């Protein structure tokens, strides 16, 4: 009888150690997933920007990847207690992941936005220099559309006369 009690105690200790080990591995795996998503989000955003993807797509995809670990944990933290009530039990890890993911998304978006702004300023500066150095550019900009309209009208008129 004493041997059975010792065996039961020993098995409970092993079971507790196994559950603690599994829990620690899950936490480590969760944080590794979080870290990889943050790095991937920033890298994805900058890569999509480099290949001239639509800025809305860049912002949406990078934000989704950055927020993914926190959203997955938050979705697991919501439990239905009855048909009318919801119980939300978020822990500090989930909130930290959501805030850090949002911060990563905002920082990456700001970096891309600042590059777009500096490119826009450079283009405006180049345009001003070109306009200043070439006074006939304004004349060309106003005459070319008139020439195109006149050529189209002349072409339409000659086509109608041939029929």
What would the pLDDT profile of 61-70 be if each residue is shown by its tens digit?
A: 888 888 888 8
- Contact in structure between 123 and 116 (CB atoms under 8 Å): no
| 97 membership: H or E segment, kind and range | helix 92-133
pLDDT of residue 73: 79
What mean pLDDT comes out for the span 103-127?
88
* pLDDT tens column, 81-102: 455 555 555 578 888 888 888 8
In the numeric block, the tokens 């500096």 are attached to 118
DSSP helix, strand, coil percent of the chain (3-state; round to 5): 85, 5, 10
Is the pLDDT higher at 5 or at 90? Answer: 5
- Cβ–Cβ under 8 Å, residues 105 and 62: yes
Per-residue pLDDT tens for 117-163? 998 899 989 888 877 777 776 677 777 788 888 888 888 888 777 76
Report how far residue 128's alpha carbon sits from residue 131's, in angstroms, rounded to the nearest whole number.
5
CB distance 88 to 78 below 8 Å: yes
CB distance 67 to 33 below 8 Å: no
In this prediction, residues 42-66 reach a mean pLDDT of: 80
What mean pLDDT is predicted for residues 52-73? 82
pTM beyond cutoff 0.85: no
**109 C-beta neighbours (distance < 10 Å), count:** 17
- Residue 85 has a pLDDT of 54
Task: Answer yes or no: are the C-beta atoms of 97 and 68 closer than 8 Å.
Answer: no
pLDDT confidence of residue 121:
92
**How many CA atoms does the CB half-sphere of 40 hold within 13 Å?**
13
């Amino acid at each position: 009888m004493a041997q059975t009690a010792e065996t039961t105690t020993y098995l409970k200790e092993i079971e507790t150690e196994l559950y603690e080990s599994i829990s620690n591995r899950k936490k480590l795996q969760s944080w590794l997933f979080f870290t990889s998503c943050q790095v991937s989000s920033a890298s994805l955003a900058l890569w999509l920007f480099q290949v001239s993807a639509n800025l809305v797509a860049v912002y949406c995809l990078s934000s989704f990847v950055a927020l993914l670990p926190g959203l997955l944990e938050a979705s697991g933290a919501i439990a239905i207690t009855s048909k009318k009530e919801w119980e939300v039990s978020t822990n500090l890890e989930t909130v930290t992941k959501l805030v850090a993911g949002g911060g990563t998304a905002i920082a990456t978006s700001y970096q891309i936005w600042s590059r777009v702004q500096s490119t826009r300023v450079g283009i405006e500066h180049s345009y001003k220099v070109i306009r200043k150095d070439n006074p006939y550019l304004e004349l060309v900009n106003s005459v070319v559309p008139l020439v195109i309209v006149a050529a189209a009208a002349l072409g339409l008129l000659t086509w109608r006369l041939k029929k």
